[in-house]
Amino acid sequence: MAARAQRFRKVFVAASLALVGAAGISASGAAGQEPTAKRSIKDGVYTELQANRGEREYGRTCEHCHGAGLEGDTGREIPPLVSDPFIRNWNGKNLKELFETLSRSMPADNRGSLSARTYTDLIAYLLRANEAPAGTSALPDSLAELEAISIEKP
């Protein structure tokens, strides 16, 4: 009798696991999705190559308003993109919020005209300019992945 109950349990567990696998349910409970690990800009979330591309694009599309030193122009209500004012404004938020703000409002003379990759390259440049360390993986342009990366003072 005990052997029969043990066999039943094994079959039941195997069938349950097969059903869960067939449904594509992960440990997070979402079908087919793995949870995105939380990270910080302190973790090296962009590459130098990406920041270099962002710097070149900044020179073409952003510098004429925000300045060569990313200092902005408070007289024209153009915010600085570097140092304490930038970090104070974005501290505690995530890169998805920064990406959405940039892609919705910049460049001011042609809003939303850049590719997702270009916006992430620009963000990589801003991170480097604000002394966040570079890493070995490029900053993704997936909003879900960007949402998992918090902005905090490097």
> What pTM was estimated for this model as a whole?
0.76
Q: Which residue has the tokens 């060569």?
A: 68
84's tokens? 């304490």
- Taking a C-beta distance cutoff of 8 angstroms, is the pair 36, 148 a contact? yes
Say if strands 149-150 and 39-40 run parallel, antiparallel, or are unpaired.
Answer: parallel
Average pLDDT over residues 19-48: 63
What confidence tier does 34 reach under pLDDT thresholds 50, 70, 90?
low
pLDDT of the residue at 118: 98
What gap in Å lies between CA 9 and CA 1, rounded to an integer? Answer: 13
Main-chain phi, psi angles of 39, to 5 degrees: -135, 175
Q: How much is the average pLDDT of 79-106?
A: 95
